Structure 1
Amino acid sequence: MSKDFLFRQAEQADATAIWEIIKQAIERRKADGSDQWQDGYPNPAVIEKDIVKGAGYVLVDGEIIIGYCALFVDDEPAYDHIDGQWLTNGSFVVFHRVAISGKYAGQGLAQQLLLHIEDFAKAKGIYSVKADTNFDNQAMLRTFEKVGYQYCGEVLLRGAPRKAFEKQLFDS
């Protein structure tokens, strides 16, 4: 994809557009037969909390928000216990709640969003990105594979086992 999209911190005014994108992603997960996000999570309160904490980030096409994720540095207690092994033990960026607008789905934008997350990490001098997904979220599992994430094992998140991945980054 040759078009450059802006990746920026979410603002309070973005909350409605972000929630619309999350709702579309919830419906896509359901249509794909995935159990992920079918239990009332995430919800508007979760998105609000992300924005207030400064963790919400959006992918923007002109003035249109087309993607969302939440980013945290060294802040995922569930990752302290993995059935498997992380590639690294140092500082890391973790992302959650990746969603792309239905109008832009299928265009490789989740991959582009993950590349922006890598740039975010490197800008902070962090060379590890970690994430997890449901066992049946085929779209995200394919995205992890396409952008070079390595399967590390299972973590328990919100009471359910999840596939855990990590990508080591290097100075370019």
Structure 2
Amino acid sequence: MDNELIFRQAQSCETDRIMQIIRQAQARMHAAGSRQWQDGYPAPGHISADIGRNRGYVLCKPGVEGPLSVIAYGAVVFDGEPAYDAIDGQWLTDEPYVLVHRIAVADGERGRGVAAEFLHRVETLAQERGVKAFRIDTNFDNQTMLRLLERTGFTYCGKVVYRSGERLAYEKRI
């Protein structure tokens, strides 16, 4: 992956671009037959809340004429996920963990390892904070995400439930 990529916290002025990337991901999931993100989630309010809580992160690359271009987004959470407390299965660890929600990559950047690089940068951030576990979940029919999790070394641990339904839960020791 390109060393020029910059991983940083998202800024509120980037919400429109982030939502454009989210809408692209929603359209791809719909076209692939996935039911994930087909109910208006995530909405601009989710992204604004992420940014306001210092959870929104972007991966950027230099633009052709200078400014950085946001190519991926995700919510990086270090203070837990309540749904994970009631897993139908077993986590690999009982340690503090980092998790990612709402990860999405811009259409023009797909197939270039951007999502894997985003997850790698989250791992590095977690390691810098002394966190040794990484958790994530996805819908059973999100084949792109399921392949990414397998390629990046995550282990299936069970199922978690949100208001919107059941999700497959994964963890990786880092």
The answer to which of 101-110 and 60-69 deviates more is 101-110
2:115 equivalent in structure 1: 110
CA distance in 1, matches of 2:13, 2:2: 28
1:10 equivalent in structure 2: 10
Q: Alpha-carbon deviations, 1:31-76, whole Å to 9, x = none?
A: 1110000001001111111111110000001110000000111320
The TM-score, its normalising length taken from structure 2, stands at: 0.94
Q: Alpha-carbon deviations, 1:139-171, whole Å to 9, x = none?
A: 0000000010000000002241100000001xx
- Per the TM alignment, residue 106 of structure 1 is displaced from its structure 2 partner at its CA by 1.6
- Per the TM alignment, residue 90 of structure 1 is displaced from its structure 2 partner at its CA by 1.2
RMSD of equivalent CA atoms: 0.9
Amino acid at match of 1:59: L
CA distance in 2, matches of 1:117, 1:140: 16
Whether 2:67 is the aligned partner of 1:67: answer: no
The count of corresponding residues between Structure 1 and Structure 2 is 169
Q: Of 80, 91, 102, which residue of structure 2 is paired with 1:97? A: 102
- Per the TM alignment, residue 4 of structure 1 is displaced from its structure 2 partner at its CA by 3.6
Residue 18 of structure 2 aligns to a residue whose secondary structure is helix
CA distance in 2, matches of 1:113, 1:38: 23
Q: Alpha-carbon deviations, 1:104-142, whole Å to 9, x = none?
A: 012111111110110111011100000000000000000
Residue 120 of structure 1 aligns to a residue whose secondary structure is helix
Instruction: List runs of 5+ in structure 1 lacking aligned partners.
Output: none
Q: Of 101, 113, 125, which residue of structure 1 is paired with 2:130? A: 125
Q: Which runs of structure 1 show a deviation greater than 6 angstroms over 4 or more consecutive aligned residues?
A: none
CA distance in 2, matches of 1:77, 1:9: 23
Residue 59 of structure 2 aligns to a residue whose secondary structure is strand
Query: Identity over aligned residues, as a percent?
Result: 46
